[in-house]
Amino acid sequence: MTVVGLVTEYNPFHNGHIYHIEQAKQLTGAATVVAVMSGNFVQRGMPAIFDKWTRARFALEHGVDVVYELPLAFAVQPGHIFARGAIQILVDAGVDAIVFGAEHVDWDFMALAKAAREKLTHAAAFKDYSQTYATAVNTVLQAELGVSLTDPNDILGLSYASALLDLGLADRVQLQPIQRVAAQYHDVVATDEHIASATTIRALAAAEQFSELTKYVPTQVAAAFASPAVVQEWDEWLPLLRYRVQMSPVSALEKIYQLNDGLAFRLHTVMDRLPKNASMTELMARYKSKRYTQARLQRSLLYTLLNITDDEMQLAMQQPYLRVLGTTGRGRQFIKDHRQQVALPVVNRTDEQAIAGLQKLDYRAGRLYELMTNPSTNGMHQDTGRIPIILE
């Protein structure tokens, strides 16, 4: 029986995600839906608007049977690393199909990845280190295959296919795109009565237009937006970041993951000159660089806050693991049926050994998220003392 996997952030969970789940089941004939979901921080380095447990529960209430956490070492990374971690977890967990949204659903992403693989190896674009990885890939695809890969979900789709190839799993897992409907990733204004982009929904929430939100999100999500237990704005993180940077010599900052090639010095200098009442927007305006995307720079600020060294991140990327955030009754049976096939380490509880080992970075991220949640979620920690959510 087909088990379908989804790669998600659910930031926040909305009607478009319900459509995704329903389409995934319909296209594959799957009875069981397994999602791997970013934890408390999402790909661009920003805090998720609701904590991972809240978002996992929303998913379980609307058609997902198992939610695994995507470890921070993969969740807060550029697309190719994000995709590799997510695919490895889903396949090891036991899915045999992966469905994802795409702007160009008619493309054969696996065929495209196979055709591109040989051409990318020796491409001159990959020797131009002033370009991002995604830009370099697109440069080669345009020149060699006549394909322009610029839309965010298409880029991720190719990344999923490439990850399956790299992991030797291309023949084991069906990769199925579905057409994004009604809203595109970066849309800031809704054009449909029932589906809006996560960007639009976050903007409505920030403006406290809660009645408008009810058109685009399930009732439970709308109610959660109206409660005070949501993450604080980026600006409220700035004092912590300022302290962290100004109390660290540049030589120490240079050990932070991706604060290389002069970025540590640049960040230290920018922070020294930043007015006391400045906002995160002003910080980013001063920190921006033609060489790096805003997402890359935002991620570097999170790495700095969490004091993640290059060595720590490199080790964590070599140690993916399975951590269940929640299941339904069907999901529990799925996990039981596939237990003997799982090769990755499984974390059921966050104990001292996990904090010092596999969950080292995720535990730190959880503690930081607790500081920035207003108020702290029922006084509970994000990791220690937690067990998976179970919905029968």
Say whether 62 counts as a known binding-site residue. Answer: no
Average pLDDT by stretches of 10, the chain with 392 residues: 94 94 96 97 92 96 98 96 97 97 91 79 54 70 79 92 94 91 50 79 84 90 77 80 96 96 96 94 93 92 97 97 97 96 93 93 94 68 94 88
Encoded amino acid at 377, one letter: T
Say whether 152 counts as a known binding-site residue. Answer: no
75-111 tens-digit pLDDT: 999 999 999 999 999 999 999 999 999 999 999 999 8
Query: What pLDDT score does 374 carry?
Result: 63
Query: What pLDDT score does 142 carry?
Result: 80
Say whether 138 counts as a known binding-site residue. Answer: no
Say whether 277 counts as a known binding-site residue. Answer: no
As a whole number of angstroms, the distance between CA 355 and CA 235 comes to 29
Say whether 186 counts as a known binding-site residue. Answer: no
Say whether 18 counts as a known binding-site residue. Answer: yes
* Residues paired with 347 in a beta bridge: 323
Say whether 80 counts as a known binding-site residue. Answer: no
As a whole number of angstroms, the distance between CA 254 and CA 342 comes to 37
Say whether 194 counts as a known binding-site residue. Answer: no
Query: What pLDDT score does 140 carry?
Result: 75
Query: What pLDDT score does 20 carry?
Result: 95
∠ CA 199-381-61, nearest 5°, is: 50
Say whether 12 counts as a known binding-site residue. Answer: yes
Say whether 101 counts as a known binding-site residue. Answer: yes
Query: What pLDDT score does 188 carry?
Result: 44
Q: Provide DSSP, 10-31.
A: -TT--HHHHHHHHHHHHHHT-S
Asked if 52 contacts 39 with a C-beta cutoff of 8 angstroms, the reply is yes
Query: What pLDDT score does 98 carry?
Result: 98
Q: Provide DSSP, 98-125.
A: EEEEES-TTS-HHHHHHHHHHHHHT-GG
Structural domains for the chain: 3-229 (3.40.50.620), 234-314 (no CATH)
Say whether 243 counts as a known binding-site residue. Answer: no
Say whether 17 counts as a known binding-site residue. Answer: yes
Q: Is 277 helix (H, G, I), strand (E, B) or coil?
A: coil
Residues 164-179 as b/e (b if ≥16 CB within 10 A, e otherwise) read bbbeebbeebbbbbbe
121 conformational bin, left if phi > 0, alpha if psi -120 to 50, beta if neither: alpha
Which residues are CB-neighbours of 289 under 8 A, at least 6 positions away? Answer: 263, 266, 297
Say whether 153 counts as a known binding-site residue. Answer: yes
244-268 tens-digit pLDDT: 999 999 999 999 999 998 999 999 9
Query: What pLDDT score does 224 carry?
Result: 87
Say whether 7 counts as a known binding-site residue. Answer: yes
Query: What pLDDT score does 130 carry?
Result: 56
Query: What pLDDT score does 210 carry?
Result: 81
As a whole number of angstroms, the distance between CA 22 and CA 63 comes to 8
Say whether 9 counts as a known binding-site residue. Answer: yes
